[in-house]
Structures are given as structure tokens and as C-alpha cells.
Amino acid sequence: MSKKKKVRVEFRKNREKPPRENDITRDFKEGDGRADDAQSGERVRAKGSLSRYRTVMQTEADDGTSMPATDANECLRGRVLRVHGLASVVETDDGRVFRCAVRRLLKSLATDERSVVTTGDVVWIRPARAEGSKQKSESDEPTDVSSLSSDLCSLSSAPEEGVIERVEPRHGVLTRASRRREHVVVANVDQLVIVMSLVEPNLKPHLIDRYLAVAQQGGLNPVLCLNKSDLADAVELQPLIGLYAQLGIPVFLCSARTGFGIERLREQLRGRSTVFSGQSGVGKSSLLNAIQPDLALAVKSVSEVNQKGRHTTTYSQLIKLNFGGWVVDTPGVRQLALWAARPEEMEGYFPEFRPFVPLCGFPDCTHTHETSCAVKDAVARRFVTSRRYHSYLNLFHGPAEE
């Protein structure tokens, strides 16, 4: 049950006027007589800046999150299909599609996130035709929809316009750290399909382990998809497949070119909300085209110079599957860092460590340099693979690597 409450919200800094001309101190010269003419009561702080706050009515959900209150009679509920810069495409519950700007108040309330709205969000929007009937103060104006023409020129499929007034609490998020801020790639999904190619670009097991940690952090069920199986020897992959299968992670060996494994992967997606993620060039869009051919997503070949993928998918988009379920195609990643994760939490992302952690000689053992460490002994005895242990060390000691 949500409760309503009043909160005080600070104005955006770019809405304030500078307290005085910035060149007074720089241009002042001793003895030129201008000091005698200076106003003795000059304000160092702009007039009224101490009180530049506004009272906002918010609703507080059971999980403690708060959002501006909305009028259900004037607003429509929908889901964000994709985000283009300042504009978002929202499909409402009645099937209509809107091009939406984000209410300025929502941007003021978002402090840690890179963007307050992301693909998959459940939002409440106010259609543009209702904006004229509601008188607003200058500080409550949404971003001008007409000023977004450059962002909306490619959104011709969404003829109606609106403003996002509220974002519902999220669950099942794919998030990462980006420039010291949280970047939520997609929200409200059930499972994460980690797409890796066996060749072109080459398989990176450490990146798989990092994705598994991100999935556990965001409450997603991980699924591993190894693409381009027609270019590799399946026998050499058995140790890798067996390792993740023992951890309870579904592993699919697929080929978007030949269609091998596509039917099994399609059944995994049926009736679920899924996000596809991985490096550029691993074949995320190609797999989706093979799963549902009418999607016709753009694809490119891998660069012959450095064997790296070329960024073809430039934004995340939510796609409805004709056999049931939703899927999000995301741009390729170059770096993947966990958001707000402390080093002492890293052992929790490696379930094979759990039987040995209570046997360590120190209760706060980090499993890196300590003596009498049961986890290190398990690695030496091959109860825990050395590769997974090295992935743990990479997560424990530093930021992401490609």
C-alpha cells in the first residue's frame, strides 16, 4: 500500500542566477578608487537562493522508493520500448505509442543514475493534449517536446506525444557502473542471456563470470549462449559447458548462421522477459533474427583488423515476440563494472566457494593473501577451478576489463 507524503526538493542549479559578475575580483586593482564606490551591502549569495526549494507530493511504495504522485484520471500507464537521447518511446496498456519527454522534476530527483528512464520501465505518462489544461509554474515545466525534434525525427512510428510523469519501482535490472554513476541498461526483465562467440571475437570466460555477478546483483536468472558453434570444435568446449552446468546455469550451444540450437533457445525465451547482452560482434541481433525472422535487425561482420565487433545496435529496444514473451536487444559492451559492489561481497557471487568459506582460518578472510585459507586450498586441490578463482581476484581487486 503506497502512502502520500510531502517533501522539499531543491531547484536545479542551472535555474539559479549568478550572485554577481564573475570579473569583479579579477579586474580589481588596488588604489584605483573603485573600492570606495562598491556597494557595502552587496550579496555574495543570490537573493532567495537559500529558499529555492519547492514542496512536492510523493507516494512512497512498500520498498521505500518514492516518486511524484500522479492523477490516474489524467495519466496513462505504459512501458518504455526504447530511449533515444532525450526522447523515450512508450507503449501504453491500450496499445498506443507515444513519444515522450521526461518531466524535469524526475531529473532533479535522480542523483546516482545516468538516466532516470530506461528501456523496460513501467511509467505513467501525461498525453500532450492534457498539458495545456494544467497551469504549471516555471520550475515544473517538462522538457519542451518541440525542442526534441532532432531526437524524434527517427520515431515516426509514434505519432502521439506526452510527458513521463512517474517511473514505477523496478525489479530485475541489468545495471553497471559508468563514469562513477549507475547505468541501468534495462529494467523489469526475468532473465539475462549472456551471448558469447566461440571465435571472431574469441571467447572470454572471465567476462562470463563478470556477467554472472551482474545477473545475481540485479536479480536476473542467467543463461549462457555460446554462438558460432559451426566455427569451433564442440569437443573442446565440454569442460567449459560442464563447469557452468554444474553451477546450475543453462548453457546453449547455437549457430545463428546454420540454425543449430535456435529452437531450444526459442523455448527458453517463450513467455519470459529477457535481455540479450554481450560484446559487439558476438551475434546478439543475428540470433534474434534467427529466432524471429521478421525482426530484420541490422547486423555487421567482425572487423578483419582487430577481430572485434562493430557497434551496429546503438540503443536498447524492447521487442515483443510473436510466440509469447519480450526480449531486449542491447548494444555491445566494451567494459562491464559492477555498480556499488564492495570487495568483501565478491565471494557471494561464486557459489562454489560457499562450502569452503566457513573453514577459513580468519572470519574476515578475503581469500587473496591470507594463510589457512580453505578457498585457496580448494583451488590447489582442484575442487575450485583456477580460472574461476582468477575471475574472483579480478572482481576483488579492480574495475572492469573488456
Q: Residues 235-244: pLDDT tens digits?
A: 888 999 999 9
Give strand pairing partners of 174.
186
Exposed, middle or buried by CB within 10 Å (0-12, 13-18, 19+), for 54?
A: middle
Q: In Å, how far from its chain's centre is CA 143?
A: 22
Write down the domain spans for the chain.
Answer: 71-167, 174-329, 344-397
The count of other CB atoms within 10 Å of the CB of residue 232 is: 18
User: From CA 100, how far away is CA 133, in angstroms rounded?
Assistant: 18
Exposed, middle or buried by CB within 10 Å (0-12, 13-18, 19+), for 45?
A: exposed
What is each CA distance from 220 to 24, 104, 240, in whole angstroms?
56, 31, 21
The bridge status of strand 122-127 relative to strand 181-186 is: unpaired
Which of 3.40.190.10, 2.60.40.10, 2.40.50.140, 1.10.1740.10 would CATH assign to domain 71-167? 2.40.50.140
CATH class of 174-329: alpha beta
CB-based contacts of 71, cutoff 8 Å, min separation 6: none
In CATH, what is the architecture of 344-397?
Orthogonal Bundle (1.10)
pTM as predicted: 0.76
Cell of 235: 569437443
Q: In Å, how far from its chain's centre is CA 213?
A: 15
Cβ(339)–Cβ(177) below 8 Å: yes
Cβ(333)–Cβ(279) below 8 Å: yes
What would the pLDDT profile of 34-68 be if each residue is shown by its tens digit?
Answer: 555 555 555 555 555 545 566 656 566 554 555 66
Cβ(328)–Cβ(317) below 8 Å: yes
The count of other CB atoms within 10 Å of the CB of residue 367 is: 24
Same CATH fold assignment for domains 174-329 and 344-397? no
The bridge status of strand 160-167 relative to strand 174-178 is: unpaired
Q: Which of 204, 186, 257 is nearest to 227 (CA)?
A: 257
Cis (ω within 30 of 0) for the bond into 201? yes
Q: What is the pLDDT along the chain (402 residues), one digit of tens a residue?
A: 456 666 665 655 445 555 555 555 555 555 555 555 555 555 555 555 545 566 656 566 554 555 666 667 788 999 999 998 888 999 999 999 999 998 877 776 655 566 789 999 999 999 986 444 444 433 344 444 444 444 444 444 546 899 998 899 899 999 998 877 888 999 999 999 999 999 888 899 999 999 999 999 999 999 999 999 998 888 888 999 999 999 999 999 999 999 999 999 999 999 999 999 998 889 898 999 999 988 878 776 554 444 454 556 778 899 999 999 999 998 888 788 898 888 989 999 999 999 999 999 999 999 999 999 999 999 999 999 999 999 999 999 876 444
